[in-house]
């Protein structure tokens, strides 16, 4: 069942269409001209609009244009007398799905309605991801479609409930903190605190007292006793991010704290027990640092009892669109899910993402700010993505994209061949696309869909 709006100034047509569509159990609303239809479109959600072209005072073309702006997801079918077929073709250039000449056969009408609804549905699925690109989420918020990321999530599930220290590695922006949070929330300590600390952001002189606390008078300025981050994480998880920047002298103290589960405050004499799970992350190769002598080998082994390595985004292109969709949903403020051009999908898929998931998140935020009429088009994207695509289209992920890229998949090959054939037929018909569509035994809408570049010509 779909919700269909019909606009026509001819009451007999209105009631006929009403009857036909009701018999197919659609939910139908009637409007006697474009203005009435527009009001209804503003206040209600429809799947499809069937509109006459000639109407007073607001005609079908105007209604079509306004609908594209107001509700870009709504499919539009134009009704037209034979005399106005050329206008109907115009309408398709404006984004109508197809047209039905009057008088029409009921079968034909129902067939076109069905095709329009199927098409709308597939578009909606593509962009709102209700089917094939639906973001598979783990722990409520980790999008994982690629094998690489699914493995990471399986690993989290397995090791989160254990007591071991866990090391997370991955390039900047790959989701290390998100994984650390998941490790915490999937552990028996989930009721306790999760405290992230960026070791690189703490000045060397303060880092010890930040981590372990200090007693009053331990150094100039230590006017009171201070609780450290270890103590604050009691019963929970302490996430030591960028652990590679812990100064060498402090590394042994950290090792002792982890091994003995006891700490001593700066300036203090007593040791006291802390029950804290340590999760650490590094965006530098710690093994290399061990070799260079800047990171203690014993601490390295202690920390990396279990290591979770998050692959860079360019190695898991299957995650790109589901992540984009996930970030769009986060940014939406009660508005409709935006329509995303295929060109945009191709560009997102093609980019190498040096800044990984965080960069993708920023790009989506940019798009949501600059998009127009609920549509994310190529122009909405930051220019660096377009430049990179134009310089090297189909480069990065071609082999894996199939659908969108210009890779070597069979699908891509068949598509290219199909295009070639369609263009040949159009040429044989002297550029007349209506005739070409007839010759090909497909609708004009289908022809335009397969050759979107012909639409504007």
Residues near ligand ATP (CB under 6 A) are 141-144, 149, 170, 172-178, 283, 323, 326, 357-358, 361
Q: Judge contact between 276 and 228, C-beta under 8 A.
A: no
173 makes contact, choosing from Mg ion, ligand ATP, none, with CB < 5 to 8 Å by partner type, with ligand ATP
326 makes contact, choosing from ligand ATP, Mg ion, none, with CB < 5 to 8 Å by partner type, with ligand ATP
Based on its alpha-carbon atoms, the radius of gyration of the chain, rounded to whole angstroms, reads 30
HSE-up (13 A, CA, CB side) for residue 447: 27
Q: How far is the CB of 208 from Mg ion (least distance, A)?
A: 22
The rounded distance, in Å, linking the Cα atoms of 433 and 205 is 75
45 makes contact, choosing from Mg ion, ligand ATP, none, with CB < 5 to 8 Å by partner type, with none
Q: How far is the CB of 135 from ligand ATP (least distance, A)?
A: 8
Between 84 and 356, CB nearer to ligand ATP: 356
Considering only the stretches 32-40, 148-156, 169-177, 351-359, report the one whose residues sit in contact with Mg ion under the rule CB under 5 A: 169-177
Nearest residue relative to ligand ATP (C-beta) = 175
The rounded distance, in Å, linking the Cα atoms of 279 and 196 is 9
Q: How far is the CB of 173 from ligand ATP (least distance, A)?
A: 4
Q: How far is the CB of 283 from ligand ATP (least distance, A)?
A: 5
Q: How far is the CB of 197 from ligand ATP (least distance, A)?
A: 12
The rounded distance, in Å, linking the Cα atoms of 249 and 318 is 43
Between 8 and 359, CB nearer to Mg ion: 359
Q: Judge contact between 48 and 95, C-beta under 8 A.
A: no
324 makes contact, choosing from Mg ion, ligand ATP, none, with CB < 5 to 8 Å by partner type, with none
HSE-up (13 A, CA, CB side) for residue 236: 20
27 makes contact, choosing from ligand ATP, Mg ion, none, with CB < 5 to 8 Å by partner type, with none
Other beta carbons within 10 angstroms of residue 226's beta carbon come to: 17
Contacting Mg ion within 34-53 (CB under 5 A): none
Handedness of CA 136, 138, 142, 148 (dihedral sign): negative
13 makes contact, choosing from ligand ATP, Mg ion, none, with CB < 5 to 8 Å by partner type, with none
Between 51 and 174, CB nearer to ligand ATP: 174
Supply angle C-alpha 18, 23, 27, rounded to 5. Answer: 60
Between 68 and 326, CB nearer to ligand ATP: 326
Considering only the stretches 172-180, 267-275, 329-337, 345-353, report the one whose residues sit in contact with Mg ion under the rule CB under 5 A: 172-180
Q: How far is the CB of 231 from ligand ATP (least distance, A)?
A: 24
DSSP-derived 3-state class of residue 81: strand
Q: How far is the CB of 307 from ligand ATP (least distance, A)?
A: 14
361 makes contact, choosing from Mg ion, ligand ATP, none, with CB < 5 to 8 Å by partner type, with ligand ATP
Q: How far is the CB of 170 from Mg ion (least distance, A)?
A: 9
Q: Judge contact between 387 and 369, C-beta under 8 A.
A: no
Whose tokens are 């094939």? That residue is 132
Q: Quick one: which H or E segment has residue 331?
A: helix 320-331
Between 34 and 170, CB nearer to ligand ATP: 170
Between 59 and 241, CB nearer to Mg ion: 241
Between 47 and 241, CB nearer to ligand ATP: 241
Q: How far is the CB of 241 from Mg ion (least distance, A)?
A: 5
Supply angle C-alpha 44, 50, 54, rounded to 5. Answer: 115
CA distances from residue 19 to 37, 76, 200, 397, 455 in whole angstroms, order as listed:
19, 19, 70, 50, 34
In eight-state DSSP terms, residue 201 is G
284 makes contact, choosing from ligand ATP, Mg ion, none, with CB < 5 to 8 Å by partner type, with none
Q: Is residue 177 a contact point for Mg ion (CB under 5 A)?
A: yes
HSE-up (13 A, CA, CB side) for residue 240: 25
Considering only the stretches 171-179, 333-341, 384-392, 416-424, report the one whose residues sit in contact with Mg ion under the rule CB under 5 A: 171-179
Give the residue ranges of DSSP H helices in 24-146.
34-43, 60-70, 85-93, 106-128
Q: How far is the CB of 397 from ligand ATP (least distance, A)?
A: 17
Q: Judge contact between 382 and 370, C-beta under 8 A.
A: no
Give the residue ranges of DSSP H helices in 186-319.
204-212, 229-232, 248-260, 286-292, 297-303
- Residues near Mg ion (CB under 5 A) are 177
């Amino acid at each position: 069942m779909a919700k269909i709006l019909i606009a026509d100034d001819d009451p007999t047509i209105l009631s006929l269409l009403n009857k036909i569509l009701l018999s197919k159990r659609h939910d139908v609303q009637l409007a006697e001209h474009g203005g009435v239809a527009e009001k209804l479109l503003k206040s209600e959600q429809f799947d499809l609009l069937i509109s006459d072209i000639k109407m007073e005072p607001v005609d079908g073309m105007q209604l079509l244009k306004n609908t594209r702006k107001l509700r870009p997801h709504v499919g539009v079918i134009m009704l037209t007398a034979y005399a106005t077929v050329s206008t109907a073709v115009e309408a398709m250039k404006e984004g109508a799905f197809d047209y039905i000449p009057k008088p029409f056969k009921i079968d034909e009408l129902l067939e076109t309605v069905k095709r329009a609804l199927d098409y709308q549905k597939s578009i909606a699925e593509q962009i709102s991801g209700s089917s094939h690109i639906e973001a598979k989420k783990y722990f409520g918020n980790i999008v994982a479609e690629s094998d690489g990321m699914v493995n990471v999530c399986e690993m989290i599930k397995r090791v989160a409930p254990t007591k071991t220290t866990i090391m997370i590695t991955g390039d900047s922006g790959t989701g290390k903190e998100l994984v650390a949070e998941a490790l915490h929330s999937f552990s028996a300590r989930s009721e306790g605190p999760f405290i992230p600390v960026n070791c690189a952001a703490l000045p060397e002189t303060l880092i010890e007292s930040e981590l372990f606390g200090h007693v009053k008078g331990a150094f100039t300025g230590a006017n009171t006793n201070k609780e450290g981050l270890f103590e604050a994480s009691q019963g929970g998880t302490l996430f030591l991010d960028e652990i590679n920047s812990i100064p060498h002298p402090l590394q042994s103290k950290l090792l002792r704290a982890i091994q003995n589960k006891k700490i001593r405050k700066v300036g203090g004499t007593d040791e006291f027990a802390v029950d804290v799970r340590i999760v650490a992350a590094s965006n530098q190769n710690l093994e290399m640092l061990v070799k260079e002598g800047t990171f203690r080998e014993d601490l390295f082994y202690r920390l990396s009892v279990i290591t979770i390595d998050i692959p860079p985004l360019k190695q898991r292109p299957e995650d790109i669109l589901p992540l984009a969709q996930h970030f769009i949903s986060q940014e939406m403020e009660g508005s409709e899910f935006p329509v995303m051009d295929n060109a945009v999908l191709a560009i997102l898929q093609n980019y190498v993402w040096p800044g990984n998931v965080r960069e993708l998140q920023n790009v989506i935020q940019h798009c949501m700010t600059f998009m127009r009429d609920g549509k994310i088009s190529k122009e909405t994207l930051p220019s660096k993505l377009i430049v990179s695509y134009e310089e090297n289209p189909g480069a990065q992920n071609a082999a894996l994209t199939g659908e969108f890229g210009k890779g070597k998949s069979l699908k891509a090959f068949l598509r290219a061949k199909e295009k070639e054939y369609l263009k040949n037929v159009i040429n044989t018909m002297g550029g007349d696309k209506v005739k070409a569509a007839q010759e090909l035994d497909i609708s004009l809408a289908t022809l335009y869909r397969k050759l979107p570049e012909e639409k504007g010509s």
